[in-house]
A and B are shown apart, each in its own frame.
Chain A
Amino acid sequence: QIVLTQSPAIMSASPGEKVTITCSASSSVSYMHWFQQKPGTSPKLWIYSTSNLASGVPARFSGSGSGTSYSLTISRMEAEDAATYYCQQRSSYPPIFTFGSGTKLEIK
């Protein structure tokens, strides 16, 4: 079973600041999905297959990575981006889906 480790666990950023959240996999994977969750709501697909923005996601977001290291980047932080972000993967067999522990992003 793949273990996903996110860093940092908590961070704050000022408006306009560049933000990078990383997700490290315990073994090499070929893609990563990312979800955004705000308090009291369900996780929302944010980036799929490493670098594809989900519908409605602002272009200031981007995703990249390969192997065991993946990242989500916000080019210029905005207040609405404050949320918790989770990475997600699946093991090939048996199919087990795992989530990272989350990165809580706050606005300064």
Chain B
Amino acid sequence: DVQLQESGPDLVKPSQSLSLTCTVTGYSITSGYSWHWIRQFPGNKLEWMGYIHYSGSTNYNPSLKSRISITRDTSKNQFFLQLNSVTTEDTATYYCARKGTTVVAHFDYWGQGTTLTVSS
């Protein structure tokens, strides 16, 4: 079965960068699908952040475009989120998720989420 697992720090200071890892088991991230980061703010608003396609191409939410980078390590079947210059507004639970590559495809597998607090 496909499983996604987020990992990373619990706490980051303002102005620093955050780095999160999504480890995928049960499916190769180079075989198909797009691999996404989605976050949920306190108060429960969900925001899509970006994805890395199985081909390696990326696409980001324009609201984050200057601060975000999604990369991968195919040997470890992991993909990563880096968000620069964080503020307290980046405090959220971060999820990684898988989505089919067609226009109508849906997010079918999600990780359990990792909660990140930005605070000095």
Q: Could you list which residues of chain A lie within 8 angstroms of chain B, going by C-beta atoms?
A: 30-31, 33, 35, 41-45, 48-49, 84, 86, 88, 90, 92, 94-99, 101-102
Contact = CB atoms under 8 A, between A and B. Distances in A.
Interface residues of B, number: 20
Contact of A42 (B45, B104, B108, B113): B113
A102 B103 contact: no
A102 B44 contact: yes
Contacts of B106: 33, 45, 48-49, 88
A90 B95 contact: no
29 contacts: A30-B104, A33-B106, A33-B107, A41-B112, A42-B110, A42-B111, A42-B112, A42-B113, A43-B46, A43-B95, A43-B110, A45-B106, A45-B107, A45-B108, A48-B106, A49-B106, A84-B44, A88-B46, A88-B106, A94-B62, A95-B59, A96-B61, A97-B36, A99-B46, A99-B47, A101-B45, A102-B44, A102-B45, A102-B46
A94 B110 contact: no
